[in-house]
Amino acid sequence: MRLKALGEWMKGHDLLDAAVEERLRLLELQVRNDKVLVAFVAEFSRGKSELINAIFFAEYGRRIMPASAGRTTMCPTELGYDADVPPCLRLLPIETRAQMQALMEWRRVPERWTQISLDVNDPEQLALAMMKVSEVSHVSQANARALGLWHDNTPEDNPPVRADGLVEVPKWRHALINIAHPLLKQGLVILDTPGLNAIGAEPELTVSLIPQAHAVLFILAADTGVTKSDLAIWREHLVTEGDGIKPRLVVLNKIDTLWDALSTPAEIRAQIDRQRTDSAEILGLPESQVIPVSAQKGLVAKVTGNKALLQASQLPALERALGQGVMSQRQTMLRSAIAKGVSELRAEAGRALGVRRRDLAEQMLELRGLRGKNTVVIRQMRNRIVEEQNLFDASSGRIQAVRSVHLKLLSEVVYLLGMPALKTELAELTEVLRNAGFKLGVKRAYGQTFRQLRAGLQQASKLNLDIQAMIAATFRQLNSDYGFSLQVPKEPDLAQYEADLNQIERSHLQYLGVRNILKLSQADFSDRLVRALSTRLRVIYESALVEVELWNKSAGAQLDAQLRDRRKNFRRRLEAIERIQLAASGLNGRLEEIAAEEQELQALHARLIQLTAFLMVDREPENFVHTVPAGLPSGKLIGA
């Protein structure tokens, strides 16, 4: 990786201070972990699994995800790629719902997941393994109630009871599929959600995973249009006030059911257009965001190589909308972030090289001024350098005093963004949610909690500005007194995290509609909601804290580097004077060394520009629509 090579080169030439090293680490982490999460959301039997087959698995020449009639996906499923993990299907048992850990916490306990290896070159084995996501268990009503899958106060949501008194529940709580599909290797992650009841049963899915998706693909059936249950999912889980930026595409699937042999092509098109217009109007979307598709015919067309059928299925139009919309925009943002980060790295390293070159230039002028001078003048020069050094060392006390005040203010910021403060702010809401019975005051408690959280972020921002002003004043004084080239790093922008808080509050308040107020009376449901909220907030506050710490490191490392270089400069100047005093040839020798060092620094700067140039180039992302790479047999995916 070029970022890693850049880091090793900078380290080898003493250009990698703590701040630069941290910035490089964060950039590498961003490149490795940046994902484009697209949530596929639909009620049962809307052809969602078939759509996934058509987009991701057609090269196998058969269905891979189960897509028969009925409920094919019983648990939320994530489809993605991690190069550090072999191709596999990981399944979290439904029994984990009886424990209070959030889903995010279970991800860090791999031993609790059932892992099935996937042979990406064996379609039969792959399809057989994927059947696991449709598995069910039959349990008593009491067990279903303990798992949060049976609610006495909302009987219409409960699964049917069999003759033996048992009820059907999903066997798995969550599934993770890791496979090296070209689209997934680009960073795409698909979140497949299995219907309204399953979404509502897992608070973390509704208030964390779906709201964090970069785009939502909402799938309807063309023959039914927007049904009552479709509209319930849309209103309760997908439309949040103030969140209009997120791309939402509606797929009007199964248009082939409207291909009536007794109707003319024009009549069929008119019927599809009417369904498209009606769906857009009901959902409050522009008609351009409703895409008619036949996933089944698209899959058949890809498998058989029927280009006319593929065009009729309109699947390529959906793939273009995803690729040129969601993937392209996200990759553009990532490239922009990398270019900005590398530009900052180049500037910091360039400053360090500039300081070294300036010190060499000062030494060159100083030594040239000694040509033809006698030993008395040379001794006076040495004494002057020692005096400058003593004055410089004496200033360290003033610098440390400023740092002490700076660190005191910083510790207040760290506290405001730390886990103890977050836990304190959540205490009242946690108590309200965990109280027994109906929670009529829960929305007021949410409002109060989020007001306090926003106030804490705003207080941290104010302290950051005070610290920034102090750093700026200190740097100006040091630049004036000692000729430093210190530049004040930009203070952290915590406004983005306040926007995240607003989005979380909206998603929770929307979730607490009449439908789920009844569920809140159950202790286990409230506990899951509290843990989902706490997990999501912890991620936001940890991200804000990382940014604050990087800002602090950048200011401190820059000052430390220039103080260190200045002390080295004093030492070299004194060594040069001593060499001149010992031998007449010492002056010319040192001047030649300085000239060579100057050339070396020029070469280092040129190499820095070269190493960073490629990383700052804004390249176009690959097309979303997958084509089989040359040399790969038809029906095969690239192995991990």
Residues 264-294 have pLDDT tens digits of 989 999 999 999 999 999 999 999 899 999 9
* pLDDT at residue number 166: 92
Inform me whether the pLDDT recorded for 614 exceeds 80.
no
Helix (H, G, I), strand (E, B) or coil at 625: coil
Last residue of a domain, one of 557, 580, 602: 557
- Residue 378 is predicted with a pLDDT of 80
pLDDT beyond 50 at 631: no
Does pLDDT of 335 surpass 90? no
DSSP assignment of 391-457: HHHHTHHHHHHHHHHHHHHHHHHHHHTSHHHHHHHHHHHHHHHHSSS--TTHHHHHHHHHHHHHHHH
How many percent of the chain have pLDDT more than 70?
87
Sign, CA dihedral 66-67-69-70, equals positive
Confidence of residue 639 (pLDDT cuts 50, 70, 90): very low
Same domain, 294 and 407: no
Task: For residues 307 and 431, state if they share a domain.
Answer: no
CB 352 within 8 A of CB 10: no
pLDDT score of 87: 94
End residue of a domain, out of 527, 557, 587 = 557
Same domain, 523 and 396: yes
pLDDT computed for residue 623 by the predictor: 44
| Residue 161, Cβ density class (10 Å: 0-12 exposed, 13-18 middle, ≥19 buried) | middle
Q: What mean pLDDT do residues 525-537 have?
A: 83
pLDDT in the model for residue 70: 55
CB-CB contact of 165 with 141 (8 Å): yes
In a domain, 565, yes or no: no
Work out the average pLDDT over 171-197: 84
Q: What is the pLDDT, as a whole number, of residue 1?
A: 63
CB within 8 Å of 239: residues ≥ 6 apart: 284
423 & 302 share domain: no
Is 540 found in the same domain as 455? Answer: yes
* Mean of the per-residue pLDDT values of the chain: 82
pLDDT band at 576 (very low <50, low <70, confident <90, very high): confident
Q: What pLDDT was estimated at residue 293?
A: 96
Q: Is residue 117 included in any domain, yes or no?
A: yes
Q: Which residues contact 140 (CB under 8 A, 6 or more apart)?
A: 165, 166, 167
Based on the domain organization, do 275 and 392 belong to the same domain?
Answer: no
Task: Round to whole Å and give the CA distance between 168 and 159.
Answer: 6
Which range marks the domain in which residue 497 is found?
382-557
How many other C-beta atoms can be found within 10 angstroms of the C-beta atom of residue 635?
A: 14
- What integer pLDDT is reported at residue 619 of this predicted model? 46
Per-residue pLDDT at 163 exceeds 60: yes
Q: How confident is the model at residue 319 (pLDDT cuts 50, 70, 90)?
A: confident
**Per-residue pLDDT, 287:** 92
For residue 602, being part of any structural domain is answered with no
* 557, 576, 611 - which closes a domain: 557
Q: Is the residue at 403 inside a domain?
A: yes
Cα torsion angle, 570, 573, 579, 583, sign = negative
Whether the per-residue pLDDT at 116 is higher than 50: the answer is yes
User: Both 107 and 249 in a single domain?
Assistant: yes
Q: What is the pLDDT of residue 246?
A: 59
User: Is pLDDT larger for residue 117 or for residue 84?
Assistant: 117
Within 8 A by CB and 6+ apart from 558, the residues are: 17, 19, 348, 351, 486, 487, 489
**pLDDT in the model for residue 640:** 31
Which of 294-298, 583-587, 598-602, 635-639 is predicted least confidently?
635-639
> What is the predicted pLDDT for the residue at 627?
38
Quick one: pLDDT at residue 622? 43
- Percent of the chain beyond pLDDT 90? 26
Residues 202 and 72 reside in one and the same domain: yes
pLDDT over 90 at 298, yes or no: yes
In the structure, what pLDDT confidence band is assigned to residue 361 with cuts at 50, 70 and 90? Answer: confident
- For the ranges 309-313, 505-509, 518-522, 616-620, the lowest mean pLDDT is seen at 616-620
Identify whether 24 is part of a domain.
no
With tokens 């790479």, the residue in question is 629
pLDDT of residue 208: 73
Amino acid at 334: L
| 178: pLDDT strictly greater than 60 | yes
Do 442 and 547 lie in a common domain? yes
287 and 192 fall within a common domain: yes
**pLDDT computed for residue 630 by the predictor:** 30
Which has the higher per-residue pLDDT, 370 or 221?
A: 221
Same domain, 307 and 429: no
Give the pLDDT mean for 553-578: 84
146-160, 328-342, 491-505 — which one is most confidently predicted on average? 491-505
d(CA 580, CA 591): 11
Separation CA 7–CA 21 (nearest Å): 7
pLDDT classification of 635: cutoffs 50, 70, 90: very low
Average pLDDT over residues 97-110: 84
| Backbone angle region of 148, left / alpha / beta, with phi > 0 → left and psi within -120 to 50 → alpha | left
Judged against a pLDDT cut of 80, whether residue 584 lies above it is answered with no
Write out pLDDT tens, residues 8-48.
888 888 887 777 777 777 777 766 667 788 889 888 888 88
For residues 237-264, average pLDDT: 79
Is 533 among the domain residues? yes
DSSP 629: P
Domain tally, the chain:
2
pLDDT for position 329: 67
126: domain CATH number is 3.40.50.300
Residue 592 pLDDT exceeds 90: no
Residue 322 lies in a domain: no
Q: Provide the pLDDT for residue 291.
A: 94
Looking at the structure, tell me whether residues 406 and 485 fall in a common domain.
yes
Is pLDDT at 143 greater than 60 in this prediction? yes
Partners of residue 40 on adjacent β-strands: 192, 217
In a domain, 29, yes or no: no
pTM of the model: 0.71
Query: In this predicted structure, what is the pLDDT of residue 210?
Result: 81
The predicted pLDDT at position 626 comes to 42
